[in-house]
Amino acid sequence: MEHHIYNKQDLKKTTFLQKMLGQRIKENAIIELNNLLAEHELSQITLEQVYGIADKYGVNFKNDYTEEVVNFYKSYLNSCLSDKVISEKELDDLRELKRILQINDKQVEEIHRELAGKIYKAEVDKVILDGELDEGERAFIEKLQNDLKLPDEVAQKIYLTSGQELIRNFMNNVISDAKLSPEEERELQAIAKNLHAELKFDDVTKTDLEKYRLYWQIENDEMPELQVDINIPRSEKCYFIAHNTQWLEQTAETPAKVNSNNALSLKIAKGLYWRNPANDTKKLDTAQWHALDSGTIYLTNKRVLFKGSKGDKIILLNRVIDFTVFANGMEIEKGEGKNPFLQFEGNMDIFAMLLGKAISQLQI
């Protein structure tokens, strides 16, 4: 395939004063080099011709026009890559162009990896889009790598990057609703296996996935059953435990309703339960609250049990009217008596979902 990609250009005209002073426009050096490439076969161009242009204008192409010279090579290589195959004839032409432009091996390698790599990645992305890679598709990308003269380590890196990107995009789409079902998880594992890609997640992502897996379980009535070190009736199942919990009550005789603009709440009704896993809740200012005791909270399918250092407190789920969730705890509204604020750190969203679900199950 012949590549005629350089078009002859007109030189910039010198002014009368420049002519009088014998000055030359240095920018014309790169134009003359372009015209030399446009008018001759690469094999016919000598270094003496190139040096002659440089001397004529007092320039050093390598130092003064590095970007332009590299672009000459990129343009030719792009033309060679247009059919996704680099022939032996094209390789010879590229070697000639490298000689003419005096580009070193490292520059050529970087240019080739950049341009051929883009083509290879685009094709790999298409092939693995469905999350599978059959023998025919594998043979195709292996042939493409060979046709593009792409080194193994570069092709492997690109393939792994594409695989990780696909997995990440799939996962982001799956957990956009902040849930991870067993079916979605199996599909994620299958994609990784088919693409021979390793599932790599940082600690934050791992924690999020565990939480989204639990969200799905709660929403689908697969409530977690925890072993407890306290005596509870056989009919009771423990769903949640929180240590280092404080039981607070407002100091005022008539508790004021908490400003709902600072928290998230939902009236418990048949078939409904609290769900808002977003971390946008604010902390409750407890200045007007008095800590009565500290201990451990147990949420079961029948009650909220607080085992404190001063004694036990119980809130039956069928007596809960509403609850308001904060980043640092939860206010539970009961049918009678003061409403407690259960203060503890961490997993407040899970506690709220489990509580809401347990209440809604009572009303089914």
The total number of structural domains that make up the chain: 3
pLDDT for 132 equals: 87
Asked if residue 24 has pLDDT above 80, the reply is no
Residue 131 lies in a domain: yes
Q: Domain check: are 138 and 209 in the same one?
A: yes
Asked if residue 256 has pLDDT above 50, the reply is no
Least confident window among 42-56, 154-168, 262-276, 284-298: 262-276
Find the radius of gyration of the CA atoms of the chain.
35
Residue whose tokens read 């240095």: 26
Q: Domain check: are 252 and 332 in the same one?
A: yes
Band of pLDDT at residue 271, cut at 50, 70 and 90: very low
pLDDT for 240 equals: 96
Contact 315, 331 (CB under 8 A): no
CA nearest neighbour of 259 among 293, 282, 240, 242: 282
Asked if residue 17 has pLDDT above 80, the reply is no
Mark which of 72, 103, 134 sits at the end of a domain. 103
Q: Domain check: are 350 and 254 in the same one?
A: yes
pLDDT 10s digits, 39-97 = 999 999 999 999 999 999 999 998 899 999 999 999 999 999 999 999 999 999 999 99
pTM of the model: 0.69
- When comparing pLDDT for 280 and 264, which is higher? 280
Q: Domain check: are 278 and 353 in the same one?
A: yes
What is the average pLDDT score of the chain? Answer: 87
Q: Quote the domain boundaries for residue 142.
A: 124-217
Q: Domain check: are 243 and 157 in the same one?
A: no
Residue 91 lies in a domain: yes
Mark which of 165, 185, 217 sits at the end of a domain. 217
CA nearest neighbour of 29 among 51, 6, 7, 46: 51
Q: Domain check: are 198 and 149 in the same one?
A: yes
Alpha-carbon distances of 23 from 30, 68, 285, rounded to whole Å: 16, 22, 78
Asked if residue 364 has pLDDT above 80, the reply is no
Packing angle of the helix pair 152-174, 105-127 (nearest 10 deg): 40
